[in-house]
Amino acid sequence: MPSITTPATVLVTAGANGFIATWICKTFLERGYRVRGTVRSSSKGDYLLKIFKDYGEGFTYYVVEDMVKPGAFHEAVKGVQAVIHTASPAVIVSDDPQDIIQPALGGTLELINGINKCGSEVKRLVFTSSCSAITDPTKPTGTIYTDDDWNTWSIKQVEEKGRDAGGWDIYRASKVLAEKAAWEEANKQNRWDMVAIHPLITLGPFIHDINEPSKLNTSIARLYNILSAKEEDLNSEILLVHDLNFGDVRDVALAHLRGVEYEKAGGERFIVCNGAYTWQDALDTLPAQYCRPLGTPGSGKSVKHTVFDSTKAQKMLDLSLRSFKETLDDTAFELHSRGWLPIRPESVQV
């Protein structure tokens, strides 16, 4: 498909107020695009209008209360040239796997239905997937994953066990099924094409609407809980847990921008992974004012990790990924600036 450039209008669904989605909106606005977001309530949209007020009429929003409702996106897709679909189930615990799978799958299909019926100007859909749709939990640590891989294990678990399948397998299955459905529909089209972006544990500063630590998204909450934990609760089993891989939210957002702009990205899947880490690595890396020395410094370097190869994204999307230190420092500073992570008194130089 032809490349898309400013001042095109980009639609960000289905919760433009989410952690990653808000950064996607900001990144496109900074580039000079007009951004239209969908949110589930006017209060969420009004918050976005407030933080993006410097862009004037560059940001607008539609309220979509139920993204699986027929016609949910029909109005929102009119007059936009690109669509970014970031929606994902917010809950991974349910008695019925379909409570998680159907919103992900149904919302995706309803959006595509809207694009086909009412989004006559849409040239590209960028689908925010996850490395949960790539990884196979049964494979050994040290496995190297690329964007050619698919998670078939979690789907099998849900099919065989139903309500007894683990919460994470149900979540992973929802990501796989939604992405596969999107590709199936995209491959039928000649007017628009698709790009899939696969983040991992996403860290970095946050600009979405949260007013207390309990409302932090899962990725940031993990770091916050480590930094807030009592020393006796952080043993080596926790500090040296393997297979943690991260992406910086700003790099993930930029990947979405390039996924829209770069014609050659059409039809491709991209892993955005800045690297692997342990919580010991995090404690070793953060400045002393944010965390006290714990565990065995340096021991995280000997831990073997699963690898998510983001070479393709770095080359095709011209991504220069941030370091673990930069991402951690900026995340910790954000927590501190909100008053949730106090400076350690003993670290202050008198």
pLDDT tens per residue, range 124-173: 999 999 999 999 989 999 999 999 999 999 999 999 998 888 888 998 99
One-letter amino acid of 185: E
Phi and psi for 275 in degrees, rounded to 5?
A: 150, 175
The backbone torsions φ and ψ at residue 145, rounded to the nearest 5 degrees and listed phi first, read -100, 145
Cα separation, 148 vs 142, in Å, equals 17
Q: Amino acid letter at 180?
A: K
Taking the C-alpha atoms of residue 3 and residue 78, their distance in angstroms, rounded to an integer, is 19
**Residue 329, SS3 per DSSP:** helix
- What average pLDDT score do residues 18-37 get? 98
Question: SS3 letters for 44-104?
Answer: HHHHHHHHCHHHHHHEEEEECCCCCCCCCCCCCCCCCCEEEECCCCCCCCCCCCHHHHHHH
Residue 237 has pLDDT above 70, yes or no: yes
Please calculate the CA angle 28-19-340 and round it to the nearest 5 degrees: 130
Question: Active site includes 175?
Answer: yes
Nearest CA to 224 out of 279, 301, 285, 167 is that of: 279
Choose the catalytic residue: 175, 180, 230, 301: 175
Taking the C-alpha atoms of residue 80 and residue 115, their distance in angstroms, rounded to an integer, is 10
- What is the separation, in whole angstroms, between the first and last Cα of the chain? 60
Question: Can you tell me whether residue 165 is helix, strand or coil?
Answer: coil
Q: What is the CA radius of gyration of the chain?
A: 20
Cα distance between residue 120 and residue 346, in whole Å: 61
The residue-averaged pLDDT of 9-18 equals 94
350 has pLDDT over 50: no
Average pLDDT of the chain to the nearest whole number: 93
Give the pLDDT confidence of 240-279 residue by residue, as tens digits: 999 899 999 999 999 999 999 999 999 999 999 999 999 9
Amino acid, single-letter form, for residue 350: V
What percent of the chain clears pLDDT 90, i.e. is strictly above it? 83
Global confidence as pTM: 0.95
- In the predicted model, is pLDDT for residue 195 greater than 60? yes
Beta-bridge mates of residue 169: none
What is the distance between the alpha carbons of residues 122 and 100, in angstroms, rounded to a whole number? 28
Read off the pLDDT of each residue in 200-222 and give the average, rounded to a whole number. Answer: 94
Question: What's the CA gap between 225 and 267, in Å, rounded?
Answer: 38
The alpha carbon of 347 is separated from its chain's Cα centroid by a whole number of angstroms, namely 34
Strand partners, 304: none
Predicted confidence (pLDDT) at residue 67 exceeds the cutoff of 80: yes
Q: CA-to-CA distance for 80 and 36, rounded, in angstroms?
A: 8
Quick one: what percent of the chain has pLDDT higher than 70?
Answer: 95
pLDDT on residue 231: 85
Mean pLDDT of 228-243: 91
Confidence of residue 120 (pLDDT cuts 50, 70, 90): very high
- Is residue 347's pLDDT more than 70? no
User: What residue segments make up the domains of the chain, in order of their start?
Assistant: 9-206+246-274+306-321
Report the pLDDT value the prediction gives residue 87, as an integer from 0 to 100: 75
Task: Show the tokens assigned to 19.
Answer: 């952690």
User: Which strand (E) or helix (H) includes residue 33?
Assistant: none
pLDDT at 43: 96
Assigned CATH class of 9-206+246-274+306-321 = alpha beta
Q: How open is the CA angle 120-21-113, to the nearest 5 degrees? A: 30
Tell me the three-class secondary structure of 230-288, residue by residue: CHHHCCHHHHCCCCEEEEEHHHHHHHHHHHHHCHHHCCCEEECCCEEECHHHHHHHCCC
The pLDDT tens digits of the residues spanning 280-334 come to: 999 999 998 888 888 899 999 999 999 999 999 999 999 999 999 999 999 999 9
**According to the model, what pLDDT value does residue 349 have?**
47
**What are φ and ψ of residue 42, in 5° steps?**
-65, -30
- 179 or 294, higher pLDDT: 179
